[in-house]
Amino acid sequence: MDRIPILKLGGVLIVTIQVDMHDRLALALEEDLTARIAGTGARGVLIEISALEIVDSFIGRMLDNIAAISRVLDAETVVAGMRPAVAITLVELGLELTGIRTALNVERGLAMIRDRLAEDDDLESARARHDD
Amino acid sequence: MAVDGTAALTQTVAAEEAGIRAAWLALLKAGGSLQTGRIREAELDTQARTVLEQLRDGLAAAGTDVRADAYAALRDTLSEISRSRAIQGFTPTDTANFVFSLKEPVFAAIDRTHGGDPAAATGGTWAASHLLDALGLHTMEVFLAGREEVIGRQGQEIAELSTPVVRLWDGILALPLIGTLDSARTGVVMENLLQAIVDEEAEIAIIDITGVPTVDTLVAQHLLKAIAAARLMGADCIVSGIRPQIAQTMVHLGVELNVVSKSTLADAFALALKRTGRIVTRRQSALSPTAS
Amino acid sequence: MPVTTTEVLPIRTSDDVVRVRQAVRVRAVGIGLGLVDQTKIITAASELARNTLDYGGGGEVRLDVMQEGARRGLRLSFVDQGPGIPDIARALTDHYTTGGGLGLGLGGAKRLSNEFHIESTPGVGTRVTIARWK
């Protein structure tokens, strides 16, 4: 069975979904991402979906799950590039995915993740100074 | 008296085609079809010739059953004439008269061919009347369908025109809504806004409802949906210009507009600039010109 | 209502669900639906096809292209011979689910369509019909 490739760039895992996903593929992606976050200690996950023509409740749930799992594993998930028609349909469907952070495109998504990592690092170093 | 009027009619139209056409054209011209200059004489001649030929063929093949396949060519011709006349600005009466005015010449022709046989003449006249009424109604239906199409398109255009999305700054859009919002229009507004967010890569969209007289539950829901959809795409919305009465109504209706809201478009713009990391300051020199 | 084209597709595997989505897209584009309406009907079809597969134990979908005057529409009928739905009103409420889903399938599909009809007999099966008009 084919799987969706996951790229690692710095501390961020990047996934671009470009195929009409059947349910098993979506579940496989959820598992793979969970394993990669845990395995690499990645701090951010960026899921780019501008090629997706529909997001139904199953894929919506997958995105929600990935966001929730990554939060537990101390990583930030950003979904980038959702099409207008898909967004309207999801809202109509009753799936507002309020637990997920979103960005217009990959660039903005990466910037959001970096901002958050920088904040965390500032906190870290502040704490380190405090400890000295 | 089961006289087959169709046979008499078929025979008459075949035999008297030229005479009927001449009389019909004379009637059409007298009726003012050419006066307005919207249609040329040659065009009218061609139309009359085509219609009569196809009527003759239809009669020969399928009698007076205008729904039959044999009448498809005539129906198409009449549809075409009807549609082009709707565009040329003819009234529905003009268009229907094009067909109905064929009655008189046909009746006269039946009288010429079957004058000696009253039963056949009556039958033929009856069949002709029936057939031409059906064809006349067909042109009316097409005429109305053409009009409806025009109205529908205009409605769509108005909806699009009335919802301009303007770019205030890099990454900041404004959607000033004016007039009453109904479901259909709100749908178009929403799509325009979301598409503009993609096109302009806008982080923030300001929906200004200063010009909206009333907001009912349905419209409020539509607005909330648009805001939720924008968020899914990665953009934030600010609503500005909610008038006190509207705020009151919404609270009474139990609608919770759980959004970022500013009283004026200017305030919303200032917030948008701040959120995108920009500050607006007055130049010092403008206030206190320094002597040099 | 005059039906101009009909197509029947099986729903036996999750790949079939993808195929249903693709077939619905072709038809939706064919009748000239706008992008948002296309997305809505495809999403609704995806939800219902998955219901047919997961709760109905598989079945089939019929796609009808309809023409009424100048209006064109797409009607989808999902049929299964599964256990049926004992309480349809309850199944239509959001977040009600007997499977592992979010429970948005039926209610969501209803909101995404212009017409929605469901009939179900426990022990016999379920038929859900939706339509979207241009």
| Chain B residue with minimum CA distance to A84 | B194
Residues B182 and B150 in one domain: no
Angle at B282 between CA B277 and CA B283, to 5 degrees: 110
Sequential DSSP letters for chain C:
--EEEEEEEEE-SHHHHHHHHHHHHHHHHHTT--HHHHHHHHHHHHHHHHHHHHTTSSEEEEEEEEEETTEEEEEEEEEE-SS--S-HHHHHSTT--SSSS-S-HHHHHHHT-SEEEEEEETTTEEEEEEEEE-
Interface test with A, best of C43, C46, C47, C48 (most A CBs within 10 A): C43
Sequential DSSP letters for B228-240:
HHHHHHT-EEEEE
* Rounded distance between C-alpha atoms, residue B67 and residue B90, angstroms: 26
Tell whether A86 is within 8 A of chain C (Cβ): yes
Residues 6+ apart with CB under 8 A from A103: A78, A79, A80, A81, A109, A111, A112, B234
- Asked if B232 lies within 8 A of A97 by C-beta distance, the reply is yes
Domains, chain A, in order of start with CATH, read 6-131 (3.30.750.24)
Q: How many domains does chain B have?
A: 2
Residue B251 inside a domain? The answer is: yes
Residues B94 and B172 in one domain: no
**Chain Cα centroid distance, residue C10:** 13
* Other Cβ atoms within 10 Å of C34 Cβ, number: 13
Count Cβ atoms within 10 A of the Cβ of residue B188 and give its class: 0-12 exposed, 13-18 middle, 19 or more buried.
middle
Residues B152 and B192 in one domain: no
Residues B120 and B68 in one domain: yes
Q: Where are the alpha helices (DSSP H) in chain B?
A: 5-30, 41-62, 72-88, 92-100, 103-114, 118-161, 183-200, 217-233, 244-253, 265-275, 284-287
- Asked if A103 lies within 8 A of B234 by C-beta distance, the reply is yes
Q: How far are the Cα atoms of A111, B62, B65 from residue B59, in angstroms, in the given order?
A: 76, 5, 8
Check residue B33 and give its pLDDT: 63
Residues 6+ apart with CB under 8 A from B178: B162, B211, B212
What's the CATH number where B146 sits?
1.10.490
Which chain A residues are closer than 8 Å to B173 by Cβ? none
Minimal C-alpha gap between B241 and chain A (Å) = 24
Sheet with C115-121: strands ordered across: C3-11, C59-68, C71-80, C125-133, C115-121
* Rounded distance between C-alpha atoms, residue C92 and residue C105, angstroms: 8
ipTM of the complex: 0.90
What's the CATH number where B243 sits?
3.30.750.24
Residue B286 inside a domain? The answer is: no
The H or E element that residue A30 is part of is helix A23-40
Using CB atoms and an 8 Å cut-off, which of residues 18-57 of chain A contact chain C?
A: 20-24, 53-57
Is residue A101 over pLDDT 70?
A: yes
Low-confidence ranges of chain C (pLDDT < 70): 1, 94-104
Token pair, residue B198, equals: 């993609």
Which chain C residues are closer than 8 Å to B149 by Cβ? 70
Task: Indicate the pairing of strand C125-133 with strand C71-80.
Answer: antiparallel
- Asked if A104 lies within 8 A of B233 by C-beta distance, the reply is yes
- Asked if B191 lies within 8 A of A82 by C-beta distance, the reply is no
Residues B19 and B148 in one domain: yes
pLDDT > 90: what percent of chain A?
66
- Asked if B198 lies within 8 A of A104 by C-beta distance, the reply is yes
Residue B285 inside a domain? The answer is: no
Residues B93 and B229 in one domain: no
Final residue in a domain of this structure, among B108, B132, B159: B159
Residues B114 and B142 in one domain: yes
Residue B106 inside a domain? The answer is: yes
Check residue A123 and give its pLDDT: 79
Residues B87 and B154 in one domain: yes
Residue B104 inside a domain? The answer is: yes
Check residue B34 and give its pLDDT: 63
Domains, chain C, in order of start with CATH, read 3-133 (3.30.565.10)
Final residue in a domain of this structure, among B106, B125, B159: B159
* Rounded distance between C-alpha atoms, residue A121 and residue A82, angstroms: 30
* Rounded distance between C-alpha atoms, residue B114 and residue B124, angstroms: 9
**Chain Cα centroid distance, residue C60:** 10
Domain that holds residue B178: 166-275
Residue B281 inside a domain? The answer is: no
- Asked if C40 lies within 8 A of A24 by C-beta distance, the reply is no
Minimal C-alpha gap between A34 and chain C (Å) = 20
Check residue B249 and give its pLDDT: 80
Final residue in a domain of this structure, among B143, B159, B175: B159
Residues B78 and B188 in one domain: no
* Rounded distance between C-alpha atoms, residue B258 and residue B153, angstroms: 35
The neighbours of chain C, by the rule of 3 or more Cβ pairs under 8 Å, are A, B
Residues B43 and B188 in one domain: no
**In angstroms, what is the C-alpha Rg of chain B?**
33
* pTM, 2 dp: 0.72
Residue B288 inside a domain? The answer is: no
Check residue B198 and give its pLDDT: 94
Q: Which of A54, A57, A84 is nearest residue C42 as measured by Cβ atoms? A: A54
For chain C, how many residues are written? 134
Q: Which of B145, B187, B191 is nearest residue C70 as measured by Cβ atoms? A: B145
Q: Which residues does residue C67 pair with via DSSP β-bridges, in sequence order? A: C72
- Asked if A90 lies within 8 A of B232 by C-beta distance, the reply is yes
Q: List per-residue pLDDT tens for chain B, 292 residues long.
A: 345 788 888 888 888 888 999 999 888 888 766 666 667 788 888 888 999 899 988 888 888 888 888 888 888 888 888 888 877 777 778 788 888 889 999 999 998 888 888 888 888 889 889 889 998 888 888 888 877 888 888 877 776 666 788 999 999 999 998 887 777 778 888 888 999 999 999 999 999 998 888 887 788 888 888 999 999 999 999 999 988 888 888 788 777 767 889 999 999 999 999 999 898 888 876 555 555 4
Residue B284 inside a domain? The answer is: no
Residues B47 and B91 in one domain: yes
Residues B93 and B144 in one domain: yes
